[in-house]
Structure 1
Amino acid sequence: MLPARADLLEEESVTTCKIEAGIFPGESDSIMLSLWLGLRALRNNRHCKFLLYAERSAMTRRFRLAGLISVALSLFQALAQGLGATEPFSVRDGDRIVFYGDSITDQRLYTTFVETYIVTRFPNLSVSFIHSGWSGDRVTGGGGGPIDRRLERDVFAYKPSVVTVMLGMNDASYRAFKQATFDVYAKGYQHLVESLKKNLPGVRVTLIQPSPFDDVTRKPTFEGGYNQVLIRYGEFVKSLGEKEATMVADLNTPVVAALKKAAEIDSAGAKDLIRDRVHPGPGGQLLMAEALLKAWNAPALVSALELDAASGQVVTAENARVEDLKKNGTLSWSQLDSALPMPIDLKSQVVALAVRSSDVERALNQQTLKVTGLGAPTYALKIDGEDVAELSKDLLASGVNLAEFETPMFRQAKAVHELTLRHNDLHFQRWRNLQVPYERRAYPGLAKAVEGFDALEADVVADQRNKAKPATHRFELVPRQ
């Protein structure tokens, strides 16, 4: 929220406020015109960019203005938020993303969750992904070689437009904070970021504050606990990101919050989120993926449909196209969404616990169906003739998130995720079992072998993208007596 001009100190003032639809430098007519234009733009396109910022200039006098500007700005921001206006998703068409890190990235869990989200939520975006985590890595490098070799071979060679970096778990050495150890981390991280910028002009870097060491479900191993050390390292990462004008994602705070909530729900099950206290399993890494996607302004919307059963009319349809709506006791229609839901495996107890302990479904996975004007107390929801759920009239009237059910769309997204895992496994084999072990030997067949793996991976990626294309489904709401 921008401060009211009347409350500004003498040294600073707000001279210009911009909305994508208009500019208002202070006059009331201009302010109201810009508000009207901006709100009209938001109403016409809920996903338009909402840009509201202040330019500061030194002043020697205090503003004494009426409350119109403050009220107008407050009104606009409230209405804009109500209309669902957000900053645009950070990932762009044509991007190539490299995920760089240690063993937690090497697990290829949060990274593949992020990849599948992007592929299924934006099936028309052309984005490629390379997973370059190496177990044991620090900012100085590790088993894959010193940092400069790691970056040259495993990052620069792919010419990415986006690079994420998560390091720190190994760097702090699993001990209480030591300044000398931290200084190595700070110096090495600075070198890493400078190398990225020097060798990849224009690259968009996301620095990741390290994921937690679990001092929640088990007692700390020393006073204060190791995660407090990681938080301190993460604070440096945040400050470095601010200094270097990179994005920063906090993968520690939200996971710790979820661990605490999970421990209240199921103290034994909560330990399975990070079984060895270091490497999160699928449930914990799902929360990490959520945190990274949130930092990238990932939208929650899969699709949203509201129907009026009494009139047989479509009230609203977002990210969805509805045809052949029929009302003859059974309400039926054909629906083509523009995206697929995120395939979150709620049959896994640990994943289900992670979901219950977080806002991941609400934040990233909203495929809503709302139907008012129904007569019977209960309805069977069928999709393509298959029973999906029995839903009360009241629940349908308030809205149901279909992403939480095993629908044909969920199964399609799950198949996409399986291909995500498959192509990343192929890349891992090509990289770790061919390229790295034999890179210093002049075997004539090495280049051909690598090319063969790359070609096979490209085939799997093409299959992944083809399977991510949404299909039309027939929906039915059948009254139960």
Structure 2
Amino acid sequence: MRILSALSILLTVASLRAESLLPPNARVAVIGDSITEQKIYSKYIEAYLLACTGRGDIKVFQFGWSGERAGGFAARLENDLAVFNPNVATTCYGMNDGSYKAYLPEIGAEYEKNMRAILAGFKKVGVKLVAVGSPGGVDPDFFTRPTIKGEIYNENLAQLRDIAKKLAEENKQPFANVHDTMMSALTKSKAALGKGYGPFGGDGFHPAPAGQLLMAQAFLKALGFDGEIGTITVDLKGQSTASSGHVVKSSQGGSVELESSKWPFCFDADPKSAGSNRSILPFTSFNQDLNRLTLQVKNLGSAKAKVTWGAQSKEFSREQLEAGINLAAEFTQTPFDAAFAGLSNAIGLKQTYETTLIKSFVTHMRVVATEAAEEPKVAAALAKLKKKFADEHARMDANVRKSIKPVTHTIKIEEIR
């Protein structure tokens, strides 16, 4: 009995892991250099946290700064994070810290020193959970720096990856292996699509949406998400059911209408262009790891059936449907696409404002902080301006949340004889 009890506890803990790493009322700061300031992987992360988890208590703010190294953020950390007061952070430094040359011990030492300063700064300002990210990688077919070949720079970035992993372990924080996630998919995608496929962007290191999805994947996995969007069970001879986040509104004759407050992550349309995040899916495990909306069908009376979800239909065998198919992976069009696009657009506008807010106002305030403290009129004016910016950001965040509404959709199963 004790063994069964212990096993039950372990299973319960495992089932809650997706929620346990992010605390209640999580405030997530997404931090990094120009790759973060592109506001693509940060947008994917925010969309996932808001729409795919079913949680309404999460807030996200991106702090990307073009050209920055870890030391640059360490210097602005306390000042800039005060605008958001995060308790969770993701970091992605190293691309610039490698100095675009072959690895030298002093490069690693400087990166480690500055990353340690960041982690110490997080403790000081109350950030409890940090997904310590490695740098990504470069695409040798597109990376054309005259000083170094892409293959050699990837060796440098791999050294910095190992330092980031060591620091994460020392600080008992999760490690986001951005480098290996990207490089593994790059190798597989090049073999299938050729050297002209550029998921890491036209310059080989500012990733296109395909590469940015890989970055988001690494961070979301590090934050502990198990990928269970939901399970819908259709019993053709009984009652249809759905897991938390999904409600069966009606069920009749193999047709089930649902209302879902947890959305699957949705992708761009193009299956081949690196400008579409869908194109990288065959070469990575995003859907398996993070995006499982499972349909199970019981008591199917034929060897196969046609499943219609929204405007698209596909055929599956009885064995596939009994085991469960991942709707998010099997269907290239979903009833959630329009809602997800609206949410992504709202997040993009908000994150663009965050870049302006940080780079045009917040960071510069540390320069005049002393003078402002000595001049009441200046301090009052700055306080008024700060409130104005905060109010505008709150309005934009509210617009994001208005985009998140339950989606009503229908699944129809037709036996094929």
Q: Give the deviation of 1:140 after TM superposition.
A: 2.3
Aligned to 1:211, the other structure's residue is in SS state coil
Determine which of 298, 312, 336 is the counterpart of 2:259: 336
For 2:27 and 2:59, the matched residues in 1 are separated by: 5
Structure 1 counterpart of 2:3, which letter? L
Q: For residue 49 of structure 1, what is the aligned residue in structure 2? A: 13
Please say if residues 89 and 296 of structure 1, whose CA atoms lie closer than 8 Å, have aligned partners that are also in contact: no
Please say if residues 123 and 469 of structure 1, whose CA atoms lie closer than 8 Å, have aligned partners that are also in contact: no
Pair 1:276-2:200 in alignment: no
Q: Structure 2 length as normaliser, TM-score? A: 0.85
Please say if residues 234 and 240 of structure 2, whose CA atoms lie closer than 8 Å, have aligned partners that are also in contact: yes
Determine which of 399, 406, 411 is the counterpart of 2:338: 411
Q: For residue 24 of structure 2, what is the aligned residue in structure 1? A: 93
Please give the per-residue CA displacement for 1:64-118, whole angstroms capped at 9, x wherever unaligned.
Answer: xxxxxxxxxxxxxxxxxxxx78565411221111122111111121111111101
For 2:3 and 2:18, the matched residues in 1 are separated by: 18
Aligned to 2:86, the other structure's residue is in SS state coil
**Structure having greater relative contact order (Cα 8 Å, sep ≥ 6):** 2
For 1:377 and 1:190, the matched residues in 2 are separated by: 57
Q: Which runs of 5+ in 2 are unaligned?
A: 373-377
Pair 1:357-2:283 in alignment: yes
Q: For residue 307 of structure 1, what is the aligned residue in structure 2? A: 234
Structure 2 counterpart of 1:391, which letter? E
Q: Give the deviation of 1:126 after TM superposition.
A: 0.8
Please give the per-residue CA displacement for 1:412-456, whole angstroms capped at 9, x wherever unaligned.
Answer: 222212211111112222332344467749597665454334323
Aligned to 1:159, the other structure's residue is in SS state coil
Pair 1:175-2:101 in alignment: yes
Aligned to 1:207, the other structure's residue is in SS state strand
Call closer, same or farther: CA 1:201–1:378 in 2, change over 3 Å. closer
Q: Structure 1 length as normaliser, TM-score? A: 0.74
For 1:156 and 1:123, the matched residues in 2 are separated by: 27
- Between Structure 1 and Structure 2, the one with more strand by share is 1
For 2:242 and 2:199, the matched residues in 1 are separated by: 41
Call closer, same or farther: CA 1:376–1:401 in 2, change over 3 Å. same
Pair 1:123-2:54 in alignment: yes
Q: For residue 321 of structure 1, what is the aligned residue in structure 2? A: 247
Call closer, same or farther: CA 1:85–1:462 in 2, change over 3 Å. closer
Listed as ranges, the matches of 1:78-477 within 5 Å are 88-141=19-72, 147-148=74-75, 150-197=76-123, 199-201=124-126, 203-215=128-140, 221-222=148-149, 225-309=152-236, 311-314=237-240, 317=243, 319-327=245-253, 331-347=254-270, 349-350=273-274, 351-372=277-298, 373-375=300-302, 379=306, 381=308, 383=310, 387-392=311-316, 394=318, 396-397=321-322, 399-403=324-328, 404-436=331-363, 440=368, 442=378, 447-477=383-413
Please give the per-residue CA displacement for 1:204-234, whole angstroms capped at 9, x wherever unaligned.
Answer: 2221111112237779934961011111111
Please say if residues 216 and 260 of structure 1, whose CA atoms lie closer than 8 Å, have aligned partners that are also in contact: no
For 1:173 and 1:307, the matched residues in 2 are separated by: 56
Q: Give the deviation of 1:156 after TM superposition.
A: 4.0
Aligned to 2:138, the other structure's residue is in SS state coil
Structure 2 counterpart of 1:257, which letter? S
Aligned residues between the structures: 399
For 1:341 and 1:201, the matched residues in 2 are separated by: 32
Q: Give the deviation of 1:475 after TM superposition.
A: 3.5
For 1:382 and 1:92, the matched residues in 2 are separated by: 34
Q: Give the deviation of 1:147 after TM superposition.
A: 3.6
Please give the per-residue CA displacement for 1:158-205, whole angstroms capped at 9, x wherever unaligned.
Answer: 3211122221111121101122233222222222222222x2246222
For 1:319 and 1:113, the matched residues in 2 are separated by: 20
For 1:224 and 1:472, the matched residues in 2 are separated by: 48
Call closer, same or farther: CA 1:462–1:107 in 2, change over 3 Å. same
For 1:158 and 1:127, the matched residues in 2 are separated by: 12
Q: Give the deviation of 1:408 after TM superposition.
A: 2.2
For 2:307 and 2:296, the matched residues in 1 are separated by: 14
For 2:416 and 2:393, the matched residues in 1 are separated by: 48
Structure 1 counterpart of 2:13, which letter? K
Listed as ranges, the matches of 1:2-21 within 5 Å are none
Q: Percent identity?
A: 24
Call closer, same or farther: CA 1:101–1:390 in 2, change over 3 Å. closer
Q: Looking at CA atoms only, which structure, 1 or 2, has the larger radius of gyration?
A: 1
Q: Give the deviation of 1:477 after TM superposition.
A: 3.7
RMSD: 3.0
Structure 2 counterpart of 1:226, which letter? Y
Farther off after superposition, 122-131 or 232-241:
122-131
For 2:110 and 2:325, the matched residues in 1 are separated by: 51
Structure 2 counterpart of 1:430, which letter? L
Aligned to 1:274, the other structure's residue is in SS state coil
For 1:374 and 1:413, the matched residues in 2 are separated by: 35
Please say if residues 378 and 479 of structure 1, whose CA atoms lie closer than 8 Å, have aligned partners that are also in contact: yes
Structure 1 counterpart of 2:41, which letter? Y
Please give the per-residue CA displacement for 1:335-364, whole angstroms capped at 9, x wherever unaligned.
Answer: 123400112224362223211111111111
- Between Structure 1 and Structure 2, the one with more helix by share is 2
Aligned to 1:334, the other structure's residue is in SS state strand
Call closer, same or farther: CA 1:246–1:318 in 2, change over 3 Å. closer
Structure 2 counterpart of 1:464, which letter? V
Please say if residues 336 and 471 of structure 1, whose CA atoms lie closer than 8 Å, have aligned partners that are also in contact: yes
For 1:173 and 1:255, the matched residues in 2 are separated by: 20
For 2:283 and 2:62, the matched residues in 1 are separated by: 28
Q: For residue 375 of structure 2, what is the aligned residue in structure 1? A: none
Q: Give the deviation of 1:470 after TM superposition.
A: 2.0
For 2:322 and 2:142, the matched residues in 1 are separated by: 40
Q: Which runs of 5+ in 1 are unaligned?
A: 1-32, 51-83
Structure 2 counterpart of 1:131, which letter? Q
